[in-house]
Amino acid sequence: MSVKKEEIIKKLPQKIGVYKFLDSTNNIIYVGKAKNLRKRVGSYFSTKTSGKTLRLVNKIDDVKYILVQNELDALLLENNLIKKYQPKYNVLMKDDKSYPWIKITKDNFPKILFARKVVNDGSDYFGPYKSTYVINVLIDLFYDMFYDSGWTPITLLKNKVNSQKNEKYQEIIKKIKSILKGNLKILINQLTIKMETQSELLNFEEAKKIKSKIDLLKDYRSKSIIVSSKISNVDVFSLVSNSHTAVVNYLSIINGSIVLSHIMEFKKRLSEKDEEIMRLAIIRSREVFNSKSKTIYSNIKISEIYENVNIFYPKIGDKKKLLILSERNAKYNLLEIERKKLKENERSKNKPSLIFLKKDLRLKTIPNHIECFDNSNIQGSLPTSSCVVFKKGLPSKKDYRIFKIKTVTKADDFASMREVVFRRYKRVLDEKGDIPDLIVIDGGKGQLSSAKESLKRLGLSGKIAIIGVAKKLESIYFPNDKIPLFIDKKSPSLKLIQTIRNEAHRFAINYHKKRRLKSTLSSALTDIDGIGEKTAELLIKKIGSVRRIYETDLDILSSIIGEKKASLVLTGLTSVFENTSREV
């Protein structure tokens, strides 16, 4: 230990407080808490210090401290300083702040709104939700409750509520808050009555829409209601970790329902213990979500944090099951993090293949971004093309694109390729997207020339490397080069090209099959003997798609088109769906 650091340690008091390590530029690089500041800081300079801690110690140039009255104050102050300064060697935290919320304002006539984040504006926030669709359905249903009580969208927007209606308005708001806290039975009962009414009026399409909302709410409730109604207002925390990452799941239980599930990811910088991370997670979560619960369940034993808040470590029964649920969420998220790291490792492993590809194709740069096109049609019918994208040697499926050929009416691979390449890169240019390092065309000289024409029209000729791959001999064609290139079949670069080409072919074929299936089903009704266009139109209008008609009970179909025709429809569609499912 240097004389300077030894002198710093000696100056530290043996009292409770928070310490800050500063580097030579006076930046805070670590914040910690201690019962005994001198003893704790001195431990960093021990000969038994780990490699990670040693890297921190070598950066320390000075130590500052703040004295506090008790350990709780130290814990809270440490948390505040970490959030404010984001020190390099403290635990990094990521959370799901982008999840949507339902917001009920604190106005005289509260509004129900969609919110992307929690703001300290006095409003009540419910969530977060994983799906904006669920929020939109819920908000629509809530406003229906107002409309059913006499308001219109305009009067509701202008807050035209007299003193008599004000009480009714507040009652509805209270009921909505109860629903958002888990009491969905009210809403489901109301929707069930509406659905049955629409069915009696033979408005089956509307009844079907209401039923889908009921199913959505039941599914939402089944994931939100906890295993025992005896467990009321509780905060549940579980932590799982490995050597470099910890994941904490927080469940908030209010009135017997899980109204919040929140995931936090912590990057370990030193040798932080699970107890330290759990304490940090509990403090931050309860602060962010304004939790007032007097009970905490945890899978990690920790010392007391708050006065009048009890921490339990369930071993059996419903409380343990609740912890298991929380742990499962945490483990899943940790698994996802590990998968991402494995994927990054795979990308690193694929780098040699990309280097070989650069060499074999005589490219100027390593082709980290590759796009491949393939056409699919049967005797010119329903022509389809695919574009698959590989980044750093791995498929980037979110960037895949599929094309319905618009300008070609017969089997013409060259014209189809010309169209899709033009459409693809015109849009990329319009949206100022990334152009690839290499384009692979599934086909020989003809398809390659067609693709090159489109690039020339867009002013991209010579700016993107492009090749064609002929399947028989796996020959590689270059623009303006009559003699193809034959790469060694054992070469990793050829294997990569084949993988990309085969993926484009698979993607195009699968989409083409779906189009064929859809085309078959669209004419399925009128192809049934005894069923004309008017009957088919009536069924589509009342029930919806052909698939829904096929899944509808005979009694309901009979009430619309009669028993005889209903029987013909179900018999005919059964034959169609059985054949198409075997085909696919």
pLDDT score of 383: 81
Out of 43-47, 99-103, 129-133, 188-192, pick the least confident. 129-133
pLDDT score of 160: 60
pLDDT score of 300: 95
Whether the Cβ atoms of residue 434 and residue 396 lie closer than 8 Å to each other: no
Rounded Cα distance between 510 and 568, Å, is 31
In terms of DSSP bridges, do strands 295-298 and 310-312 run parallel, antiparallel, or are they unpaired?
parallel
Mean pLDDT, all residues of the chain: 83
Tokens 């005289």 -> residue: 108
Q: Which residue has the higher pLDDT, 433 or 99?
A: 433
Q: How far is CA 333 from CA 56, 143, 235, 240, 347, in A?
A: 29, 35, 19, 10, 21
pLDDT at position 61 over 60: yes
Q: What ranges make up the beta strands (E) of 299-400?
A: 310-312, 369-378, 381-391, 394-395
pLDDT at position 292 over 70: yes
Q: pLDDT band at residue 578, thresholds of 50, 70 and 90?
A: low
DSSP 397: G
Kindly state the average pLDDT of the residues 323-328. 86
In terms of DSSP bridges, do strands 475-477 and 369-378 run parallel, antiparallel, or are they unpaired?
unpaired
Most confident of 166-180, 397-411, 457-471: 457-471
Give residue-wise pLDDT tens across range 250-267.
988 876 666 677 889 999
Contacts 24+ apart (CB under 8 A), 530-534: 530/564, 530/565, 530/568, 531/565, 531/568, 531/569, 531/572
- Residue in 561, 572, 51, 36 with CA at minimum distance from that of residue 269: 51
Rounded Cα distance between 49 and 410, Å, is 74
Most confident of 86-95, 121-130, 352-361: 352-361
Write the CB contacts of 190 (distance below 8 Å, at least 6 apart in sequence).
Answer: 145
Q: pLDDT band at residue 381, thresholds of 50, 70 and 90?
A: low
Q: Which residue has the higher pLDDT, 177 or 47?
A: 177
Token pair for residue 461? 């000729």
pLDDT score of 47: 62
Q: Which residue has the higher pLDDT, 521 or 92?
A: 92
pLDDT score of 40: 92
Reduced to 3 states (helix: H, G, I; strand: E, B; else coil), residue 417 is helix
DSSP 233: S
pLDDT score of 435: 93
Dihedral pair phi/psi, residue 289, rounded to 5°: -100, 10
Domain 369-517 = CATH 3.30.420.340: yes
pLDDT at position 582 over 50: no
- Residue in 246, 233, 226 with CA at minimum distance from that of residue 300: 246
Longest Cα pair distance anywhere in the chain, in angstroms?
100
pLDDT score of 580: 52
pLDDT at position 128 over 80: no
Kindly state the average pLDDT of the residues 152-181. 78
Rounded Cα distance between 85 and 73, Å, is 18
Annotate 428-447 with DSSP letters as a single string: HHHTT-PPPSEEEEESSHHH
Kindly state the average pLDDT of the residues 320-326. 85
Q: Which residue has the higher pLDDT, 1 or 71?
A: 71
Fold of the domain spanning 3-90: GIY-YIG endonuclease (3.40.1440)
Look up the pTM and report it.
0.44
Whether the Cβ atoms of residue 23 and residue 61 lie closer than 8 Å to each other: yes
* CATH of the structural domain 523-583, one choice from 1.10.1760, 1.10.357, 1.20.960, 1.10.150: 1.10.150
Residue 448 CB neighbours (<10 A): 25
Domain 234-336 = CATH 2.50.20: no
- Residue in 133, 135, 42, 31 with CA at minimum distance from that of residue 90: 31
Ranges of each domain in the chain:
3-90, 101-224, 234-336, 369-517, 523-583
Whether the Cβ atoms of residue 33 and residue 17 lie closer than 8 Å to each other: yes
Q: Which bin fits 505, alpha (ψ -120 to 50), beta or left (φ > 0)? A: alpha
Q: pLDDT band at residue 222, thresholds of 50, 70 and 90?
A: very low
Q: Tell me the β-bridge partners of 322.
A: none
Please tell me if the domain spanning 3-90 has the same topology as the one spanning 523-583.
no
Cα 541 versus chain centre, distance: 35
